[in-house]
Amino acid sequence: MGRFLIFLSIITTLILLVDVYGYFGIRQLTAQIDPTWRRVARWSWWVPTVITLVLFALMLIGFEENMQARNYKFMYFTTGFAFLFFLTKMCFTIFHFADDIMHFFRWIFFKIRSNPESDPAERMTRIQFFNQVGLGAGALVFGSMLYGITKGKYAFRVLSESIQFKDLPASFDGMRIVQISDAHLGSFLDNSFEEVQQAIDMINELKPDLILFTGDLVNNFAYEAEPWIPYFQQLKATYGKYSILGNHDYADYVYDSDIPEQLGLKQTNLEKLKAIQKEMGFRLLLNENVQVENNGETINIVGVENWGRNRFSKYGDIRKASAGIAPGSFNILLSHDPTHWEDHVMGKEPMHITLSGHTHGAQFGLESPMLHIKVSPSPFFGYQRWAGLYQEGEQYLYVNRGFGFLGFPGRVGMPPEITFITVSKA
């Protein structure tokens, strides 16, 4: 509750700062229009903010009750509404700031060039170009956000990669791997069963040899996954389905391990989640490895528990997970957070390919492989490798953009991903 209150306070402060500064841009844009419409435009700027603050207050008051009732609908409605208008206004505010900078330099120019008898302020008319462009850009952002909330979060796509390895056992040449990650099933509300079923069907149509899930099945609580057991039971793979835990699966964000009563609840929740994964048909790997055999040849699936930089939990132990692996084996590592690969695997452990998730691609971005465009806020959160395939020497890392969503109830320019990797012998 304390962390939630701090987060809410920060967001509220940002909203008010953006609103106050952006309002001056609205005043400038509406200075010359009919007084009635001017008042309507200016008051309309504040209406979404007032509604957002009221929603925040109601969410805060009913937070504990909604958590106990397993009700996330109001929370996601509130966060969606807040993001929708905040990012739209921020876009306009950025252009308004550019307009102010332009106006400042024009004022300096006229100040230098004007005659001593004249007043440069009287000779200079404010140009509204950036404010007008900002208004159009804000409308575009609003439309994109609205699509992301209503449709974008269900626009599942298959992204394919083909990787060659010299030491891949011949029996596994052409092996088809499907990776999914960050399902966050607590975020899918009651009306999402049909959309998720479509994604399940897309996976089975790929006829995978391996299905690998790289963590964050739930937001916090094991019960979030219960309605989805029959859906994930449908997933079929020749060599089986394997999974690991992500940072949200431990319920660290809702239970305090320093309080004995909560520690017991946390452990019970985790054991229930493990049982649900087993019921779904996943072999959960907890700092351990398993061999997959075909025609007398084997590869290793290595699974570590969550390990992340800075504030994230550090349950993962790569040495323990890879114990007993024979030298020269072909190894696939499942590790939820890509920073674990950077800090503990790259150039240090004999893992041929590591599959990660965690970043969600920030659920916002712009990608166009043909134009070599790949933009997301993820690097600002400390993730240099945040989506897609990366190679260092003979080691590969693939970061899945996520199956579900968290916090913001949508995806803008960063659709949910089903990764399809074909590995072959070079």
pLDDT band at 67 (very low <50, low <70, confident <90, very high): low
Specify the pLDDT at position 36: 92
pLDDT band at 6 (very low <50, low <70, confident <90, very high): confident
Give pLDDT tens digits for 321-355.
999 999 999 999 999 999 999 999 999 999 999 99
User: Going by DSSP bridges, is the β-strand pair 395-399/366-368 parallel, antiparallel, or unpaired?
Assistant: unpaired
Specify the pLDDT at position 348: 95
- Tell me how many degrees the CA angle 101-102-103 measures, rounded to the nearest 5: 90
Distance CA 128, CA 141 (A): 20
Specify the pLDDT at position 75: 85
Across 48-62, 73-87, 167-181, which has the greatest mean pLDDT? 167-181
Specify the pLDDT at position 69: 62
Give pLDDT tens digits for 266-284.
999 999 999 999 999 999 9
Specify the pLDDT at position 345: 96
Query: Over the chain, what is the mean pLDDT?
Result: 91
Specify the pLDDT at position 105: 85
Q: Which of the two residues, 191 and 320, has the higher pLDDT score?
A: 320
DSSP code for 364:
B
pLDDT band at 70 (very low <50, low <70, confident <90, very high): low
pLDDT band at 131 (very low <50, low <70, confident <90, very high): confident
The answer to whether the beta carbons of residues 358 and 247 sit under 8 Å apart is yes
Specify the pLDDT at position 99: 87
pTM for the whole structure: 0.89
Q: Which of the two residues, 114 and 260, has the higher pLDDT score?
A: 260
Q: Which of the two residues, 60 and 246, has the higher pLDDT score?
A: 246
Burial track 194-230 (b if 16+ CB lie within 10 A, e otherwise):
eebeebbeebeebebbbbbbbbbbbbbbbebbeebee
- The partner residues of 292 in beta bridges, in order of sequence, read 299
Q: Mean of the pLDDT values across residues 74-89? A: 91
| Structural domains for the chain | 2-150 (no CATH), 158-425 (3.60.21.10)
Specify the pLDDT at position 124: 47
pLDDT band at 122 (very low <50, low <70, confident <90, very high): very low
